[in-house]
Structure 1
């Protein structure tokens, strides 16, 4: 028998198989969730909040705990969707607001525009540019440097 998972703030309900991870559920619902680290639990791009049913998910593993410690928007109900597997009913997932830097095709295109939503760091989830702020050339330079550091970090983590 399938388990029901609710996705907020979209008010979507999905029936899933036992032991299916939350990331695959979000992707099945056409949500453009990034997998910057390849779903290995090493970045924040699939960070979600569990509003209800935390006891119906697999327990946190060591890697997920370490990654969550780095995420600046982490709460006691935070999980990485790629690591959390559905074991029971009643799970309600909330997707944090914001857009990850790695989702932007060409950061240079943003110069002179206002950020539509917070632009977030792919590893820490910290806000790099606040929603509504005018994006300047110096911000773009900083964003590009951050992208390079993230790529370097993830490349090194794949070697391990």
Structure 2
């Protein structure tokens, strides 16, 4: 049976089968969501906020609670889309503002330009480059170090 999920602030609605993860909703809507850990709840790149309907989602697991604990922007209504199964109607998801660091080639093309939205750290959600800031070569170096840190963290998590 299908459930309707509303996505704010973009104002879209999407359907999802009962017990499907919210991540599948985001991906169906062609939203740029990274899956650094492959949907295992270890990297926080699918961090979202639940505006309404928390009771219509699966309970938070220990792994998800541990991952949410390291996200700087975590709030009471935070969840990981890859770990949140839709079990009832009335879920409203708020997408965090900003984009997660992904391909360095994309970022390098932005040198000398101002960011249109925050660039977020993929492990903890903190803002690496604020909206409107000029991207410099030194920022690119910092972003490359962050990308390396993410790869190491994800590889380590996969071994555990």
TM-score by length of 1: 0.95
- Alpha-carbon shift at residue 108 of structure 1 (Å): 2.4
- Alpha-carbon shift at residue 104 of structure 1 (Å): 4.8
Query: Does structure 1 residue 141 correspond to structure 2 residue 141?
Result: yes
- DSSP 3-state at the match of 1:48: strand
For the aligned residue pairs, the C-alpha RMSD in angstroms reads 1.2
Query: Relative to structure 1, is the Cα distance of residues 103 and 11 closer, same or farther in structure 2, using a 3 angstrom cutoff?
Result: farther
Deviation track 1:8-39 (CA, whole Å, cap 9, x = no partner) reads 11211122211010000111112121111110
- DSSP 3-state at the match of 1:16: strand
Unaligned runs of 5+ in 2: none
Deviation track 1:60-79 (CA, whole Å, cap 9, x = no partner) reads 00010000011111110000
Counterparts of 1:120 and 1:85, CA distance in 2: 25
- Alpha-carbon shift at residue 105 of structure 1 (Å): 3.4
- DSSP 3-state at the match of 2:109: helix
Unaligned runs of 5+ in 1: none
Deviation track 1:107-159 (CA, whole Å, cap 9, x = no partner) reads 32222111111010000000001010111111111111111111111111111
